[in-house]
Amino acid sequence: MTKILIVEDEPDEARSIQLILEREGYETDIAVDGDEALQKASECDLMLLDIILPRVHGDIVLRKMMDKGISKPVIVVTAVSREVGVEADLKEINSEISFIQKPFNSNDLVKLIKQRI
């Protein structure tokens, strides 16, 4: 079974995503900050990563994963607009990441996950 790590500091948002993914048959886990995301990164098959996180910002999570040799599909789930250059900055860290902007359609999220796995 595919395990997806949901890195989201808003409990209601994390639970909502978790319910969507579990209905699709995925195993899920939640990390509420960047430190916890780094601790759990090697245990998942795909990571849904918010950028604005407590403790360790999402871009630092990506950098540290690369430094540790942790390579897996990452989908950045963020409310930060692409217009501010966030996507380009993150693609410099890891050119293989995908993006979905909040608020998103659950069908679009599931479709993107299936493409990445």
Q: Could you tell me what percent of the chain has a pLDDT over 90?
A: 67
Report, as an integer, the average pLDDT of 91-104.
Answer: 81
When pLDDT is averaged across residues 102-117 and rounded to a whole number, the result is 94
Q: What is the pLDDT of residues 22-50, one digit of tens each?
A: 999 999 999 999 999 999 999 999 999 99
The predicted structure's pLDDT at residue 90: 74
Distance set, CA 21 to CA 60, 94, 100 (Å): 25, 24, 15
Give the Cα separation of 20 and 10 in Å (integer).
Answer: 16
Buried residues in 55-90 as b, exposed as e (16+ CB within 10 A): ebebbbbbebbeeeebeebbbbbbebeeeeebbeeb
Strands in 74-78's sheet, in edge-to-edge order, are 27-31, 3-7, 46-49, 74-78, 98-101
Domain of 34 in residue numbering reads as 3-116
β-pairing, 98-101 vs 74-78, is parallel
* Confidence (pLDDT) at 102: 87
Give the CATH number of the domain where residue 109 resides: 3.40.50.2300
| Number of domains into which the chain is organized | 1
Residue 99, CA atoms < 13 Å, CB-side half-sphere: 20
Closest CA to 11 of 39, 50, 38, 44: 50
Q: In the chain, what percentage of residues exceed pLDDT 70?
A: 88
Cα–Cα distance, 57 to 16 (Å, whole number): 22
The Cβ of residue 27 has, within 10 Å, a number of other Cβ atoms equal to 13
Residue 55, pLDDT > 90, answer no
